[in-house]
C-alpha cells in the first residue's frame, strides 16, 4: 500500500508529487523587498529535500502592505528576483507557490515611514499599539486591484501557484471580523457584506490569472478571538471562496496575532488544530490543507488517511530538517531532526528584524556559508561534555573529517536539555536529545558514557585539541538559612531528585524559576487522558474539570528581584508561560528580595517593607556559573582548547547548539 503522504495530488491543473507543503513564513531574508541569495539558497535546500510544494512569502501587494524584509511583488522591478526564486525551487523538484497579503492594520507607522496604516475601520490594534485609518471606498478598490496586479507579476515570474492570506488579523480577515469592521456601507454589517472584500480580491485575481491557474486561500479555521469571526463564520467564508470566487484549495490555520490562545509553541499538542481542516473538508470539494505543529510523519500520514485533510503543512519542521520528506520516503525516519517548537531561532528573531535560523539546525538560513568540506589532515579531538554544545561540536568536527571522542560523565547524554524538557509543554526538548544521539550514531564519533575526565585521563591521551563543553553548575545565595535541608536547587527539582512540600517558595523568576514553578504546580492536576475520560463520560461538569486540570496540590510562590518575570524567555514563549502561571494560581512577587530562610518560612523585602511567607520547601533558581574547572588542567597539559556553551558563557540551548556546530566545523 502506498504511503498516503507520497500519493500525488492535483490543485487545479498542477500536479504535486506528494502531500507535504512548506507554508509561507516570514524569514526576514529580503532587503527592501528584493530577493536575496540567502533566501534562494534556503528554499533550494528545502526543494532538494523532497517537499512537494513550497509556498514562499508573504509577498507585498503595494508599498504599505509589507515589511522591507518581506518578499515584494508590488512593482515590475521585482520580477527578475522573483523568477530566480521560483526557478530555484522548480529546478530542485518542488512546485513553487507564493503567498500574497496586505498587512493592513498590523503595519506599524515606523515601518511605513510615518504613514498611518489602513484598515476597514479605525479600531486600535494590540499588535502595533496604534489605531489605523479607516479606508475610503476608492482605497478599497485600489487594494483589490493591487492584489490582482501582484498576481499577474508572480505568475509572470514563473510561480506555479498563488496563495492569498485571508487570516491572521491582516487586511482580508479584518474586513471579515465584526470586531475590526464597523463600516456601514456594503463592506460592513452583515456577514455577507463583511465577506465581500475578500471575495472580490479572489475574484479579481482569478480574472487576471485565468481559470487554469491554481489559486489557494489560507484561511483561519477559527480566529480564536472572543466575539470575532469564529469557526462557523470562517467555514461559511471558505465555502463562499470556493463557490463564488473559484478558489482551488483551502489552507487552514488558526488564530490572529492578537489571540490569547497559543498557536505555535511547544505546549500546543501536535496537530491540535487539524479538526478545523476537517470542518472545511466536509463542506467543500477542493483539496484542504492543514497546518500547525505537524512535525512527525506518523501524525501527518494519519491526518490524511483519516480524512481530516488532503495535504499537510510542515513549516518549522522543514526549517529544522530540509531533507525530512526524502528521509520519510526512503525509510530513514530515525534520522529526522524534529522541530521542537522552541521558537528561539525562528519566530523570536522576527521582531528583532533578524533573519530566521533554527536551534535544532544551525545551518538554517546559512546554507551556503556553512557547507562542511572534509579536511586532508585530520586531528584527534576530545570533546568533554555530552550536552547540547558537546554533541553539536562532536558531530560537526566528525563531519569535517576529524577523529573525535566525546566524554560524558553521566550515564546518559543530553545534559541540561533534560531540564528544559521537564516542565509541562516542554517535553519535546527530550526529542532533540534523541535526534542528536542519532546523528552521533551515524557519525564516526567515539562516545564514552559514564566517563569522568580528569588530569590522569588527559595526560594518558594524545589529543591535538579539546572542546570544553562541561556546561554549568547552579549557584546558591549568601543569605541566612540557604543551607537548610529543605532548601533545594531548581535543577534537582526538575530532575525529580527531590520532592517538595505543599507550600513552595521559588527564589528567582527567570526562565528556570518560571519553568520550575509550572513543573511543581502541575503536581496533582488531571492528565489529558483523564480530562477526556471525565468529559466523554460526563463525570463532572466542564468547569469542575477545568479547575482540576489547572489547580494541583501545591501552593507556589515566585519571588524575583527584577520588575518582571521570565525576562530571559523568548518573546514567543514568554506570554504563554505568564498566562499558564496565572491559570495555575502561582503567586508572583517582583522587585522583591529574599532576606532570610528559616525552617518554615522565608523573609522577603519589597519597597523596604519586610514580610514572611510560609514555606515547606524553598527552591533556588538564582542562576548558574560556567563549569570550567578542567581549563587549567588542559592549559597545564598544553592541549589547545575552546570552551563552548555554558562552559564559556551562560546562555540558551540555541547558543549552545550554534557555538558547538561552528566550533566543530572550524577545526582545521
C-alpha atoms less than 13 angstroms from C-alpha of 416 in its C-beta half-sphere? 27
**552 lies in the same domain as 513:** yes
Count Cβ atoms within 10 A of the Cβ of residue 174 and give its class: 0-12 exposed, 13-18 middle, 19 or more buried.
buried
**545 lies in the same domain as 597:** yes
Angle at 113 between CA 110 and CA 116, to 5 degrees: 75
**613 lies in the same domain as 659:** no
**469 lies in the same domain as 588:** no
Q: Are 250 and 216 in contact (CB under 8 A)?
A: yes
pLDDT in tens, 282-309: 999 999 999 999 999 999 999 999 999 9
pLDDT in tens, 344-368: 999 899 888 899 999 999 999 999 9
**190 lies in the same domain as 267:** yes
**440 lies in the same domain as 490:** no
Count Cβ atoms within 10 A of the Cβ of residue 352 and give its class: 0-12 exposed, 13-18 middle, 19 or more buried.
exposed
Q: Does any domain span residue 44?
A: yes
**40 lies in the same domain as 171:** yes
Q: Does any domain span residue 375?
A: no
Centre a 10 Å sphere on the Cβ of residue 213 and count the other Cβ atoms it contains.
Answer: 19
Average pLDDT, the chain: 96
Q: Does any domain span residue 426?
A: yes
Residue 392 C-alpha cell reads as 553539536
Boundary-marking domain end, from 302, 332, 349: 349
- Count of domains for the chain: 3
Residue 76 C-alpha cell reads as 515590475
**Closest C-alpha to 151, from 163, 166, 134:** 163
What are the percentages of helix, strand and coil residues in the chain, rounded to 5? 35, 20, 45
**Closest C-alpha to 318, from 56, 501, 582:** 56
**276 lies in the same domain as 405:** no
**162 lies in the same domain as 108:** yes
Alpha carbon of residue 115 to chain centroid: 31
CA distance 557 to 549: 19
Q: What is the pLDDT of residue 201?
A: 98
Count Cβ atoms within 10 A of the Cβ of residue 323 and give its class: 0-12 exposed, 13-18 middle, 19 or more buried.
buried
Q: What is the pLDDT of residue 209?
A: 98
CATH number of residue 432's parent domain: 3.40.50.720
DSSP assignments along 226-281, one per residue: TTSSHHHHHHHHHHHHHHHH---EEEEEE--TT-SS-SSSTTSPTTTTHHHHHHHH
Domain enclosing residue 332, as ranges: 4-349
Give the N- to C-terminal CA distance of the chain in Å, as an integer: 48
Q: Does any domain span residue 86?
A: yes
Q: Does any domain span residue 503?
A: yes
- For residue 472, the SS3 value is strand
CATH number of residue 240's parent domain: 3.20.20.70
CA distance 458 to 506: 40
Q: What is the pLDDT of residue 1?
A: 66
Q: Are 319 and 406 in contact (CB under 8 A)?
A: no
Q: Does any domain span residue 459?
A: yes
**187 lies in the same domain as 311:** yes
Q: Which residues of the chain have pLDDT under 70?
A: 1
Q: Are 416 and 471 in contact (CB under 8 A)?
A: yes
Q: Does any domain span residue 369?
A: no
**94 lies in the same domain as 179:** yes
Alpha carbon of residue 76 to chain centroid: 34
Q: What is the pLDDT of residue 76?
A: 98
Q: Does any domain span residue 107?
A: yes
**Whole-prediction pTM:** 0.94
Residue 239 C-alpha cell reads as 465555502
CATH number of residue 557's parent domain: 3.50.50.60
Q: How far is CA 69 from CA 35, 243, 497, 646, in A?
A: 9, 35, 47, 32
Q: Are 581 and 590 in contact (CB under 8 A)?
A: no
**574 lies in the same domain as 643:** no
Amino acid at each position: 500500500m502506498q504511503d498516503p503522504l507520497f500519493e500525488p495530488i492535483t490543485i487545479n491543473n498542477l500536479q504535486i508529487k506528494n502531500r507535504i507543503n512548506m507554508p509561507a513564513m516570514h524569514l526576514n531574508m529580503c532587503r527592501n523587498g528584493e530577493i536575496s541569495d540567502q533566501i534562494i539558497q534556503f528554499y533550494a535546500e528545502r526543494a532538494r529535500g523532497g517537499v512537494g510544494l513550497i509556498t514562499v512569502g508573504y509577498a507585498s501587494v503595494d508599498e504599505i502592505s509589507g515589511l522591507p524584509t518581506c518578499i515584494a511583488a508590488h512593482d515590475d522591478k521585482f520580477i527578475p528576483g522573483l523568477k530566480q526564486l521560483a526557478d530555484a525551487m522548480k529546478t530542485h523538484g518542488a512546485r513553487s507557490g507564493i503567498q500574497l497579503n496586505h498587512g493592513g492594520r498590523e503595519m506599524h507607522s515606523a515601518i511605513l515611514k510615518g504613514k498611518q496604516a489602513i484598515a476597514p475601520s479605525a479600531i486600535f490594534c494590540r499588535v502595533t499599539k496604534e489605531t489605523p485609518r479607516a479606508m475610503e471606498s476608492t482605497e478599497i478598490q485600489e487594494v483589490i486591484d493591487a492584489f490582482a496586479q501582484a498576481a499577474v507579476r508572480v505568475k509572470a515570474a514563473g510561480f506555479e501557484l498563488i496563495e492569498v492570506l485571508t487570516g491572521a488579523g491582516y487586511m482580508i480577515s479584518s474586513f471579515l471580523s465584526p470586531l475590526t469592521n464597523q463600516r456601514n456601507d456594503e463592506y460592513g454589517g452583515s456577514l455577507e457584506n463583511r465577506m465581500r472584500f475578500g471575495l472580490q480580491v479572489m475574484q479579481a485575481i482569478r480574472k487576471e490569472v485565468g481559470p487554469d491557474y491554481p489559486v489557494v486561500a489560507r484561511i483561519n479555521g477559527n480566529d480564536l478571538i472572543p466575539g470575532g469571526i469564529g469557526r462557523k463564520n470562517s467555514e461559511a467564508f471558505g465555502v463562499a471562496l470556493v463557490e463564488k470566487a473559484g478558489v482551488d484549495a483551502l489552507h487552514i490555520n488558526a488564530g490572529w496575532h492578537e489571540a490569547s490562545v497559543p498557536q505555535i509553541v511547544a505546549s500546543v499538542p501536535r496537530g491540535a488544530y487539524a479538526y478545523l481542516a476537517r470542518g472545511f473538508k466536509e463542506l467543500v470539494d477542493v483539496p484542504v490543507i492543514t497546518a500547525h505543529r505537524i512535525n512527525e510523519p506518523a501524525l501527518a500520514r494519519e491526518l490524511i488517511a483519516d480524512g481530516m485533510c488532503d495535504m499537510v503543512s510542515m513549516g518549522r519542521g522543514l526549517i529544522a530538517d530540509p531533507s525530512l520528506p526524502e528521509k520519510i520516503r526512503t525509510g530513514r525516519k530515525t534520522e529526522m531532526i524534529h522541530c521542537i517548537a522552541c521558537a528561539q531561532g525562528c519566530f523570536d528573531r522576527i521582531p528583532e528584524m533578524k533573519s530566521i535560523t533554527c536551534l535544532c539546525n544551525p545551518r538554517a538560513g546559512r546554507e551556503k556559508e556553512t557547507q562542511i568540506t572534509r579536511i586532508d589532515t585530520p586531528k584527534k579531538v576530545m570533546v568533554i561534555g555530552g550536552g547540547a554544545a558537546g554533541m553539536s561540536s562532536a558531530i560537526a568536527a566528525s563531519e569535517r573529517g576529524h577523529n573525535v571522542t566525546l566524554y560524558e560523565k553521566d550515564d546518559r547524554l543530553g545534559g541540561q536539555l533534560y531540564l528544559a524538557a521537564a516542565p509541562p509543554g516542554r517535553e519535546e526538548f527530550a526529542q532533540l536529545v534523541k535526534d542528536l544521539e542519532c546523528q552521533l550514531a551515524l557519525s564516526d564519533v567515539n562516545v564514552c558514557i559514564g566517563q569522568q575526565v580528569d588530569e590522569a585521563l588527559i595526560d594518558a591521551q594524545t589529543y591535538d585539541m579539546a572542546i570544553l563543553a562541561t556546561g554549568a553548575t547552579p549557584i546558591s545565595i549568601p543569605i541566612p538559612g540557604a543551607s537548610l535541608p529543605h532548601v533545594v536547587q531548581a535543577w534537582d527539582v526538575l530532575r525529580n531528585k527531590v520532592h517538595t512540600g505543599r507550600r513552595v517558595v521559588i527564589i528567582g523568576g527567570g526562565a528556570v524559576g518560571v519553568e520550575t514553578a509550572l513543573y511543581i504546580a502541575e503536581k496533582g492536576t488531571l492528565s489529558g487522558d483523564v480530562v477526556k475520560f471525565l468529559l466523554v463520560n460526563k463525570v463532572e461538569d466542564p468547569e469542575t474539570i477545568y479547575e482540576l486540570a489547572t489547580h494541583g496540590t501545591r501552593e507556589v510562590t515566585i519571588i524575583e528581584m527584577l520588575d518582571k518575570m521570565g525576562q530571559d524567555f523568548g518573546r514567543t514563549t514568554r506570554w504563554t508561560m505568564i498566562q499558564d502561571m496565572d491559570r495555575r494560581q502561582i503567586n508572583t512577587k517582583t522587585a522583591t528580595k529574599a532576606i532570610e530562610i528559616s525552617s518554615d518560612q522565608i523573609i522577603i523585602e519589597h519597597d523596604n517593607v519586610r514580610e514572611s511567607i510560609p514555606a515547606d520547601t524553598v527552591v533556588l533558581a538564582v542562576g548558574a556559573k560556567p563549569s570550567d574547572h578542567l581549563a587549567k588542567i588542559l592549559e597545564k597539559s598544553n592541549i589547545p582548547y575552546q570552551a563552548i556553551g555554558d562552559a564559556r558563557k551562560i546562555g540558551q540551548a540555541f547558543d549552545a547548539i550554534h557555538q558547538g556546530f561552528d566550533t566543530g566545523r572550524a577545526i582545521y
